[in-house]
């Protein structure tokens, strides 16, 4: 085999592996890994609603994309007025971020009326994804 063919095969294999890794990562984006409260988390201190779902958004003054998340959440909450929105500044409340394993900003959660985590997204979520996660919780409530 020539060196060009060998290099081409190696590049193709690397690209295929990267594609598989990307698909597996994206399949888990926005999915819930568990509905139990993290140890030591006081959900009352988060300001969660007990009458419907709550969107919790971790932010910081220095976080540029957090403004985009705020706009998306305002839009969704305007369309679904039964939804409560709580914004938590990471710098002001690092304990809540630590208890929920927030490793990057922005991070958005959805909790149901019982305080169970039902959705999690790092980065700027799409309004359609938030609505899709919230609407079944509104029917339940």
Query: Is residue 4 very low, low, confident or very high in pLDDT (cuts 50, 70, 90)?
Result: confident
Phi, psi angle pair for 56, to nearest 5°: -110, 125
Domains identified in the chain and CATH numbers: 43-140 (3.40.30.10)
**pLDDT value of position 120:** 96
Quick check: 59 and 89 in contact, CB under 8 A?
A: yes
In tens, the pLDDT along 93-139 reads 999 999 899 999 999 999 999 999 999 999 999 999 999 999 999 97
Average pLDDT score over residue span 41-63:
87
C-alpha distances (whole Å) from 72 to each of 5, 88, 129 are 48, 16, 10
Say if residue 35's pLDDT is above 50: no
- Single out the residue of 82, 91, 57, 95 nearest to residue 137, CA to CA: 82
pTM for the complete prediction? 0.70
């Amino acid at each position: 085999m020539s060196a060009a063919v060998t290099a081409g095969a190696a590049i193709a294999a690397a690209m295929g592996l990267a594609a598989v890794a990307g698909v597996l990562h994206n399949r888990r984006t926005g999915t819930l890994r568990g509905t139990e409260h993290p140890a030591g988390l006081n959900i009352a201190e988060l300001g969660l609603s007990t009458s419907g779902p709550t969107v919790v958004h971790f932010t910081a003054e220095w976080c540029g994309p957090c403004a985009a998340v705020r706009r998306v959440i305002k839009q969704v909450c305007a369309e679904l007025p039964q939804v409560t929105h709580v914004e938590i500044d990471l710098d002001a409340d690092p304990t809540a971020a630590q208890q929920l394993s927030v490793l990057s900003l922005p991070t958005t959660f959805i909790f149901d009326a019982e305080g169970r985590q039902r959705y999690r997204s790092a980065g700027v979520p799409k309004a359609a994804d938030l609505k899709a996660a919230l609407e079944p919780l509104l029917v339940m409530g």
